[in-house]
Structure 1
Amino acid sequence: MKRILDCRASDFRRMEREQLKGAILAAEGRTVIAETVAVTQPLLPEISNAELAKAFGADMILLNVFDVFNPVVRGLIPLDVFHPTGGEQGIANPIAEVKRLTGLPVGINLEPVDDSAQAVEQLSKLPEGRRATVDSLCKAKELGADFVCLTGNPKTGVTNQQIVHAIRRANEHFGGLVIAGKMHGAGTRGRVIDREAALAFAEAGADIVLLPAPGTVPGLREEELAEIIFEVKGQGALALAAIGTSQEGADVDTVKAIALSAKRAGADVFHIGDAGYTGIAVPDNIMALSMAIRGRRHTYIRMAASPLR
C-alpha cells in the first residue's frame, strides 16, 4: 500500500475506497484536505480555488455548497477580468474536471439535515442536491466523487443522529470513502464534541470520523480530543481534525499551533476550511498546515507534482 504522500494522479485514478483509506493510514498523520466553496467566484479568477489549494499543498479537495443536481464549480472556465465572457456552462461534470486539473481525490459535503432540530438561530433551507438523501448520494456516485463528507454548514440544522442515518445510507448507496462528523454546531443546540456521537459514527461505518481541532471550538482541549480519537481508532475508523471555524483565515502561527496540537492528539487527516477569504483558506495557511505536519519535502512534492504523473 502506497502512502498518500507518494501517490500521484495515476495512483488516485485507480484507487477505490479501501485503497484511499489505506493510503491515508500509511502516511501516519500527514494528509491534508482543503475545503473550497464551489459556487463562489474564485480567489484568482483565472483558476479554480481547487487548483489553488492543490498548488499550496492539499492532498484531497473537498467541495462545499455543491449541489449534485445543479453541479457548478466556479473557475473551471477561466475568467479574463478585462474581457469577461460568461459562466460555467458547458462543463457537464465539474467533479471530473476538478480531478483532471488537480490530479487529486475530490469529494463533496452532503448535509444530514434534521428538520426537527432545536435551533439556536434561523435555519437555512437546503436544496435536495446538498442534503444527504438517497438520491443525492446516488448522484454523487454517478458524478465520480471519491468521498463524501457528512457534516453541516452554519445554520443548516444538522444533528448527530441524522449523521448516523446518513452514514448508513452512504454505505448502501454511495460506496466511496465516508467522512462524518461536526466541526461546529451547524445551528443546533448541544455540544459539538460528543464522545458517544463520535463512536456512533465509527460504529455506523464511517471510514473517517470528523472532529474539531483543538482550539477551534470553545472548551475543546487536546487531551480530551486524544481520548476520543483513541476510542474511534479502536473501532477501526481514522480521525480527522478540522479547522472549520474561520481560523483558516488567521495568521500562520495560529494554524501551525492548531495543526501540531491535533497531531499530538492522534489525528490522521488535517482539514482546513473555506472561510479564509471567500471560498478558500488563506493559501499560505494551507502550506503552513502542510509544513507543520510533514515538513518541506512532502509539501513541496505535493505542490509541484503534475496531474499528468
Structure 2
Amino acid sequence: MVKRLISANASEIVAMTPTELKQSIKASDGRVILSENVVTRIPIIPDISNAELARAFGADLILLNGLDALEPAIVNIEGENSIELLKRYVGRPIGVNIEPVDETANMNETKLTIATGRQANPQTVQALEKLKIDFVCMTGNPGTGVTNAKITEAIKTTRTHFSGLIIAGKMHSAGVDEPVITEKYVKHFMDAGADIILVPSIGTVSGFDESQLKTIVTTVHQHGGLVMSAIGTSQESSDVSTIRDFALKNKMCGVDIQHIGDAGYGGLAPVENIYEMSKAIRGARHTVSMIARSINR
C-alpha cells in the first residue's frame, strides 16, 4: 500500500505512479498543500527558484504558472531539461497550468492573449507528457477567457495524450461572465476524466459558501475523485490570520488539497503564509517533518 504523502520521503514521492500519487494524497486526510508559482518572475531570493522556496516552507506539490510547454524556461533553472532539474532540486511532484481558452467567451473585461504553449491543446499536452510532468491543472488566469465548457472539452482531449493526473476547475472568473463553479460542471469534469476538481477556497469568491463546497466535496468523493480548494484571488498575500481562517474552513468542508496562489512578491505567495497554512491544517509536527526531511532520502 502506498505511503501517505505527508509522511513520504522524496525518493518515494518521485517514484509514485499517478494512481499511487492520488491515493497518497487521499491517505493524507486533507493535509496536503499545493503551492503555485510564476516561472517567469525573479524570486525574492534571486538566485534560486520559487519552487525551492515553496518546498522549504511546507509545499507538498508544486504548480508552475506561465510555463510555455513549447519553450519550457524557468527562472534560475538552467539546463536542457528544466523540469527534470527542478524535480531533482525539490523532490516533489511538479504540475503545470494549461488554459482551455474559449474564443467565444462572453467577457467581463478585456481579453488577454496567451502563448499557444500555455493553452490546453494536443500540442501543449504532448509536450508536457514528454517533459514527464506529474499533473496538469486546467484553469484560467485573469482575463484569459477560460470557460467551464472548454475545460470539459479539454479534459477529454488531454486524457488521450497525457498519463498524469488532471486537475480541473476555475479559482476565479478568468474574466468570463459565468458562475465560477456549479455542481453541474463538477459532474461534467468528472465524467470527462478529471481526477481532482478545483474549487475556490472559502472566503475568496463572492457568494461561494461552505454549503456549496460541502455539496461539491460529497459529490466528487462519491465518484472517486479528490477536491482542491484554491486561493487564487491575490488573498494569498493577506495576513496570516486570514490564511489560517481559509485553511481551517476548507478542511472542515472536506477538501483533500489546499492550493495557495502566486500573487506575492516575485510570483510566489509570501513564504510565511505557506508555512502558516501548513501549521493550520497539519500542525507543527508534520510541518517540520516536511520542511526538514532531506530531498536525498
The answer for the alignment partner of 2:121 in structure 1 is 133
Instruction: Tell me the equivalent position of 2:256.
Output: 268
Q: Is the contact between residue 169 and residue 181 of structure 2 (CA under 8 Å) also seen in structure 1?
A: no
Give the Å deviation of 1:285. Answer: 0.3
How many residue pairs match? The answer is 296
> For the Cα contact (< 8 Å) 1:202–1:236, is it kept in 2?
no
1:145 corresponds to which of 133, 136, 147: 133
Distance 1:240 1:132 in 2: 20
Structure 1: 5+ residue runs without aligned partners? 77-87
Q: How does 1:59-208 map to 2 (within 5 A)?
A: 59-76=60-77, 88=78, 91-208=79-196
- How far residue 12 of structure 1 moved from its aligned partner, in angstroms, is 2.0
- Name 2:7's counterpart in structure 1: 6
CA RMSD of aligned residues (A): 0.9
The equivalent position to 1:235 in structure 2, one of 199, 202, 223, is 223
The answer to whether the 8 Å contact 1:247/1:276 transfers is no
Structure 2 gaps, min length 5: none
The separation in 2 between residues aligned to 1:295 and 1:271, in whole angstroms, is 17
Amino acid at match of 1:125: T
Which amino acid is 1:260 matched to? L
Assess if the C-alpha contact under 8 Å between 1:119 and 1:189 holds in 2: yes
Q: Deviations over 1:93-151 (max 9, x none)?
A: 21111110000000100000111111111111111100010111010010111100010
Q: 2: CA distance between counterparts of 1:46 and 1:304?
A: 21
CA distance in 1, matches of 2:67, 2:148: 21
Contact 2:43 2:265 in 1 (8 A): no
CA distance in 2, matches of 1:195, 1:4: 28
Q: CA deviation at 1:75?
A: 2.3
Q: Aligned equivalents of 1:228 and 1:13: distance in 2?
A: 30
Whole-angstrom CA distance in 2 between matches of 1:300 and 1:73: 28
In 1, the alpha carbon distance for the partners of 2:163 and 2:242 equals: 36
Q: Counterpart amino acid of 1:143?
A: L
Normalised to the residue count of structure 2, the TM-score between the two structures is: 0.98
Q: TM-score, normalised by structure 1?
A: 0.94
SS in structure 1 at match of 2:160: helix
Q: Report how far residue 5 of structure 1 moved.
A: 0.9
The separation in 2 between residues aligned to 1:122 and 1:224, in whole angstroms, is 29
**Deviating 4+ runs (over 4 angstroms):** none
Deviation at 1:278, TM superposition (A): 3.2
2:269 is matched with which residue: 254, 276, 281? Answer: 281
Distance 2:75 2:44 in 1: 10
Q: Distance in 1 between matches of 2:208 and 2:104?
A: 27
Question: What SS does the corresponding residue of 2:227 show, helix, strand or coil?
Answer: strand
